[in-house]
Amino acid sequence: MLNNLLSNPVTRTFFALVFAIVAVLGSFFTYVTAPEDFGNTSVQFDVDSIYYFADSWKVAYDYAEITFFSGTLVIPAYHHGRVVAVLLIPPAEQPGTIRLSFPSEHRGDLPEKIDDNLEQGLIVLDHADYTKILRDSGDTILLRADEVTEAEMPSHYLARQLEHGYNLLTSYDIFGYTNWLLPTPQTVLLRLWGQRLGMVTYYEDARVIVRAPDFSLNFKHPEIDDLFYPPESYRGRAIVYMIFLAMAAVSLIAFIAGGLEVREKEVKGRYNVLQTSAALVGALVYAAALTAFNHFFQPSPYAAAALWLLPLMGVIIWARKDRLELNFFGISTRGLGTGLIAAVSVCIFIALGSAFSLPVGLKFNYMLLPMGLAILLREALIRGFCQRVISHWLHPLAGLFIVSGAWAVIAVLTGPGTIGILPLVSALGMSLVVGYLYYCSKNLIAACVLAALLELAPMIIKF
């Protein structure tokens, strides 16, 4: 009876609409009942005051002590009129200093004290900390550096360094839109550039995390038991919100594609098990290696697109050898119109749901075109080859979940952000949405377009 009910396109469309409404309401109530700063986005950094240290300045945390001397350039960064970070650039002839000292049971082979000179420092802090540390710190005097012209002000550099600094804080990435949670007064975050140590990251909370090119420490703070940042409810609330958002997107796809024919039933292909498994694993390993390569070496988008094209050449040779037509992979007009409508609609829905605010404009760069091409070719390999072969070899749902899960893990492990449950849920949600559109429309072009739109939208839309 249930099969007969779901075999009716009108009934399937109705159920998809009901699920979409329930999921949208769930995400809406998850957001509106959240704390005021849940999903705080669009942090705009504006440097409107530059100061000099007239005297030496020092700040000490539990395991780190930094000192900057007179003449250091002090650049505060603001968000909604409140200082959220400060960049310190000492004069070349008198660099700052850093001293690290860790408990013997945690430092391993490191010396008792680590000293180095500082070329610059970035402190992410709360407004109250800025007022306390920089304005009321003993004899420290801040002088307004009026002679620094706007052209000399490193505003772009500051914004980039602040972005790197916020990456060190726990954040959740909803389908490509990174939502920064501003630090609490208890949060301490330092990113320092030492002349010998290189870039050093220091984070102090219930856990102390220190990373440098030559060492990494992560241990429980002996005196702080409660995690101040982020609040404990954030992870659960963010996960629930992302699940509802993904369910709503999937339901929207099902609603738009509800008039298509019934999903194909289980079809087992005649494949050599070892050869097919080796080809699938090889494609995923190649995807992981290339994603990591792109992250660490940042080749031009054209080079990245060419590298994604290489394995597709092997797929083309295999398809011609086995006389597989293009529509086997979904390269056809079948479901194209419906799939493209679903891709654009879902992208708009996720963009609005992930950013918590309405867009105010668009910014377009010609480099987005080769970036989009690289994404299209990547999805052609992941969906058109991996998901399609597993779907035909085992079952369509098997191809959807295996490949979507594998790609989500690859994206998190090789991506620029932190590795954790929140980035994984976000990547899995986006991967499932793209895979589900391919599953529904049987059209590879539509799925590739959706993946490109989801990844490029955060760079195109201004909030």
Q: Assess contact for 209 and 224: CB atoms under 8 A.
A: no
- pLDDT tens digit sequence for 13-42: 777 777 778 888 888 778 777 766 566 544
For residue 206, the 8-state DSSP code is: S
> 120-147: b or e for each residue (b if 16 or more CB lie within 10 Å)?
bbbbbbbbebbeebbeeeeebebeeeee
How many C-beta neighbours within 10 Å does residue 228 have?
14
Q: What predicted TM-score, i.e. pTM, was given to this entire model?
A: 0.72
Helix 232-256 / helix 421-441 crossing angle, nearest 10 deg = 10
Burial degree of 438 (CB within 10 A; 0-12, 13-18, 19+): buried
How many C-beta neighbours within 10 Å does residue 320 have?
9
Q: Assess contact for 170 and 163: CB atoms under 8 A.
A: no
Q: How far apart are CA 243 and CA 428, in angstroms?
A: 10
- Residue entry with tokens 């992250």: 295
Q: Assess contact for 399 and 447: CB atoms under 8 A.
A: no
Residues of the chain with pLDDT under 70: 1-9, 35-48, 78-82, 125-141, 146-155, 162-172, 179-188, 227-232, 259-271, 416-418, 463
Q: How far apart are CA 143 and CA 13, in angstroms?
A: 66
Q: Assess contact for 39 and 32: CB atoms under 8 A.
A: no
**What pLDDT score was predicted for residue 110?**
87
- pLDDT tens digit sequence for 94-133: 899 999 998 888 888 888 899 999 988 888 766 566 666 6
